[in-house]
Amino acid sequence: MKDRYKKKWLILALVWSCAIGLFFFNLYKINDYQKRKESLIVKEEIERFLKLHKGQLEDISREKEKFYDHIPNIKIGLLKIEERLERLLKKNGLTMEKIEYGGIYKGISNVEIDLMCNGIIIGFINMLSSIKKRFPYLEIENIDIKFTKPMKGSFRIKMKYNFLIKDQNV
């Protein structure tokens, strides 16, 4: 009888452990189902939103592309930008004195450019305007102007060159 008494306690513990275990399992299942359902609803909403605003979203995507210069290689990119800036300076009657680049770091998609030039102030102002309009991937940070004569001087621009390496083989 003593054994039966002990066995009964064991059976009781086992039955209740199973019942409680199953209760928590079901609770987990309910929560999981609810979470998955909610996340699906959110995703469906997003999908609907994406479908509905496909045109606008494509515009945004295109617009954003402008802020990065898509280049196959950073060196090519820097040479290209140097060429473009030289052309712009020339067009605005400015002379390039020096151009310097900051460090190139892995995982960072921008490079500091330090450009020094001289000429007339109006040409410099035109150049700044052109940079903003034509090269949105160049982000001007600082400007230093030193007037040597009235409306003439030496100019220094510090800007950030934003680029994206795009493998042309892909």
Partner 1 sequence: MKYIFFLTDKELLLLDLKDQIKITRQFLIDDLISSPETFKKEIIHEEKGLIVIPDYWITSRFYPLETKRKSIIEEFLKRRLPSDFPEIPESKDFFEYIFLKQQEQRGILVYLISESLFYSLYRNLFSDLLIEQRITTPAFLWKSKLSRKFEMDKGTILFMHIYYKNAYLCFFSDSCFLFSRLIDIDEETYINQISYEAMQSFRLVSQRTKKEIEKIYIIPKNENDKEKLANMLNIEVEDISDKIYLPNPEISLVEKLGTFAFLDKSDILNSAFYIPYRPIRRLKEWFFFQNTGIIVGVLVFMIMLMETLFFNRIFPPLPKEKKGKFLYVQDYISYLDEIISYEKRPDFSLLLLKILNCLPDHVHLTEIKIRSGPLNIELIGYVDSRSIEEFQDRFSAFLKRLRKTFKNTKIPGLSEIDIKKKKEGFGFLFGFNINEG
Report the interface residues with partner 1, using CB under 8 A: 1-2, 5, 8-9, 11-12, 15-16, 18-19, 22-23, 25-26, 29-30, 33, 36-37, 39-40, 42-43, 46-47, 49-50, 57, 60-61, 63-64, 67, 121, 124-126, 128-129, 132, 136, 139-147, 150
Question: DSSP 3-state assignment of 170?
Answer: coil
Smaller CB distance to partner 1: residue 14 or 76? Answer: 14
CA distances from 85 to 16, 131, 134 (A): 79, 9, 11
Residue 138 Cβ, how far from partner 1 at the closest point, in Å? 10
Smaller CB distance to partner 1: residue 96 or 120? Answer: 120
Smaller CB distance to partner 1: residue 12 or 76? Answer: 12
Residue 112 Cβ, how far from partner 1 at the closest point, in Å? 13
**Block residue for tokens 């008494």:** 5
Smaller CB distance to partner 1: residue 79 or 144? Answer: 144
What's the 3-state SS for 65-134? HCCCEEECCHHHHHHHHHHHHHHHHHHCCEEEEEEEECCCCCCCCEEEEEEEEEEEHHHHHHHHHHHHHH
C-alpha–C-alpha distance, residues 42 and 40, integer Å: 5
Residue 83 Cβ, how far from partner 1 at the closest point, in Å? 22
Residue 38 Cβ, how far from partner 1 at the closest point, in Å? 11
